[in-house]
Amino acid sequence: MIDQIDDEDVTCREIESEAFLETYALSDEYHDFEEETRTVVTDVPCCKVAFIEEECSYCSARLSDVRVVGDAPESMDEYRRLLYDVYEWFFDDPRSHDRFSLSGGITAEGRNMQLVITSNLKDVVEYARDDAEMAVGKQSREEIWTKVLGPEYADAD
């Protein structure tokens, strides 16, 4: 067993320091995560959003991922639907997650587009979980779109 990491091919099986493992517990660099479950959150024409739970094949580390697979939304209506579907799903099932990831054609978009989508999804999930935990009731589509996208996009066609 090793206590310091200086080799790129080291896996979680060879790391002795629990503090190191806790610090990097969810890094793909040290674990061999395999998909355990996949739940589709929304399926809009451009892409799917799924909640994926993975477990390391070497140890008991688990990872929860909100993954967008497909292309970037082609219209504001499509994007607003995607955001509100994600909000509703996490309101109804306020699970925690460890990361957001993008795959498919959406990764070919510019870095700015990727950051905007990821940031908007993080906001939507946070609003949903907060609303569910505080038992304030589900917000309307327009309220969520206004908070996330701004008032100019809340009812845009």
Domain count of the chain? 2
Mean pLDDT computed over every residue of the chain: 83
Same domain, 24 and 88: no
Distance between CA 131 and CA 94 in Å, rounded? Answer: 9
* pLDDT of 16: 58
pTM: 0.81
pLDDT in tens, 58-101: 777 788 889 999 999 999 999 999 999 999 999 999 888 888 88
Higher per-residue confidence, 45 vs 3: 45
Q: What share of the chain is helix, strand, coil (3-state, %, to 5)?
A: 45, 25, 35
Same domain, 72 and 148: yes
pLDDT at residue number 2: 40
Looking at residue 140, the DSSP 8-state letter turns out to be P
Same domain, 141 and 74: yes
Domain containing 12: what range? 1-31
Residues 20 and 68 in one domain: no
Which one-letter amino acid corresponds to residue 3?
Answer: D
Query: Which residue from 3, 90, 96 is spatially nearest to 49, judged by alpha carbons?
Result: 90
Q: What is the pLDDT of residue 61?
A: 78
107 and 85 within one domain: yes
CB distance 26 to 61 below 8 Å: yes
Does 23 share its domain with 47?
no
Beta bridge pairs of residue 62 = 55
Cα of first residue to Cα of last residue in the chain, in angstroms, is 59
Same-domain status, 53 and 114: yes
Note whether 17 and 56 are same-domain residues.
no
* Residue recorded with tokens 């996009």: 153
